[in-house]
Amino acid sequence: MAKKTLIAASLVITFFLGYAFKSITAPKTNQTPGFKRVTGIGGVFFKCKDPKAIRAWYQTHLGLNTDQYGTSFEWRQAGDSTKKGYTQWTPFSEKTKYFAPSEKDFMINYRVGDLTRLVEQLKLEGVTIVDKIEVYDYGKFVHILDPENNKIQLWEPIDPVYERGAKGITR
């Protein structure tokens, strides 16, 4: 009986020591429990020599239903399958300054749930915020830089308005 008690006590102690070690060594973040920062990819934007020709090529060869902005992919939200979500695909002119200060040929747009709260957290963490939050009828936007100077667009969408036609960025 004493051997079983000793084994059980050893297992319990090992479990708690492992938990304590994990708690001590885990990277610290300012993330609030239940606060999800990014909820999905809102768009993929890239530079090309001739956006009109690229849109036509993708339409002809890959079946994308393109317009002057590119195309939107519609999907259902995981948390509530009755709600739609969108991901925008847009080719930009290779001469665009929209990706500046990044010199990269692409920019990813991430969907977020609470842009204002996220920007405040990112400021506390020392992340470079490129501009002020811009508000449109289909959502809020801001741009940040990652450590390799990739410009990232954060978008708090209003999907029902976006669905009605306020799609795309013309720059």
CATH code of 101's domain? 3.10.180.10
- Cα separation values, 26 from 29, 34, 38, 109, Å: 9, 18, 21, 28
In a domain, 135, yes or no: yes
For residue 167, the model assigns a pLDDT of 52
In a domain, 97, yes or no: yes
Strand locations in 9-99, DSSP E?
38-48, 71-76, 84-93
In a domain, 32, yes or no: no
Q: What is the pTM of this model?
A: 0.74
**C-beta of residue 34 within 8 angstroms of C-beta of residue 40:** no
**What contacts 40, CB < 8 A, 6 or more positions away?**
85, 87, 110, 111
In a domain, 121, yes or no: yes
- Classify strands 84-93 and 38-48 as parallel, antiparallel or unpaired: parallel
Domain that holds residue 79: 38-163
Per-residue pLDDT reduced to its tens digit, 11-60 = 445 544 454 444 444 445 555 656 778 988 999 999 999 999 999 999 99
- From the list 37, 44, 72, 47, the residue with the least C-alpha distance to 153 is 44
How many independent structural domains does the chain possess? 1
In a domain, 122, yes or no: yes
For residue 75, give both structure tokens.
């999907």
Mean pLDDT for all residues in the chain: 82
**What contacts 66, CB < 8 A, 6 or more positions away?**
55, 56, 58, 59
In a domain, 70, yes or no: yes
Give the DSSP letter of residue 1: -
Per-residue pLDDT reduced to its tens digit, 76-100 = 888 888 888 889 999 999 999 999 9
